[in-house]
Amino acid sequence: MSGLLYPLEAFTPPHENVRESWWDSLLAILQHYCECLERLSELEISPNQPTLNHVVAFNEEQVISTILDFVERGMLPPDYDFSSEAEDEGEAVTGKTVEVANEEPGQSTATKTIGQAKASVLKFATSLCWEIPYDPASPIWLRIRNWLADEGMKDRDDLIGSAMICFANGVRNGEHMMKEHR
């Protein structure tokens, strides 16, 4: 496993090669990792000055595939120990759930962290599509197209909306590339 991708791979089933005692630390690492990805995705990107290419240049397809795996299937392991979640300021712990002011009640802090991480990673993936010209035969673009076509994804509004943005970014980048080669 690449060290860069480990935080995403760890929370994508089948949750292999992770010691039970590592989950809380991995959640903290995942949270910081996703904050970094989110900052990268907020950089001003233009076709003349690529800024994300160096992030995925070493093996673009594997990196993006891992990112998409996490967005589609990332979750806590089935045996995650929720009892390790401590009471924090503004939180009331009740069984396996944590209620935080101004957030949806009934979700654990760990579950919220995974949800926030998926949103950050999805934002990053959408930004990456600016630098990947649209190619209908590309495995990456086929997979993103499946977010729109697959019946199993119809309840995933996050993926459907992001797929449309990804396609717009990819097509827009392709148009810029065609203009440069004329």
Pick the closest to residue 128 from 52, 28, 61 (CA basis): 52
CA 13 to chain centre: 14
Any idea which residue has 């009640």 for tokens? 105
Q: Give the tens place of pLDDT for each residue, 108-151.
A: 889 999 999 999 988 888 887 777 777 888 888 899 999 999 88
Alpha carbon 25 to its chain centroid, in Å, reads 18
Model confidence pLDDT, tens digit, residues 80-107: 887 766 544 344 333 333 333 335 666 7
Instruction: Give the sign of the dihedral formed by CA 122, CA 112, CA 42, CA 36.
Output: negative
Q: What pLDDT is recorded for position 57? A: 53
Q: Which residues pair with 100 in a beta bridge?
A: 91
Q: Is the pLDDT of residue 178 over 60?
A: no
pTM of the predicted model as reported, rounded to 2 decimal places: 0.73
- Kindly report the average pLDDT of the chain as a whole number: 75
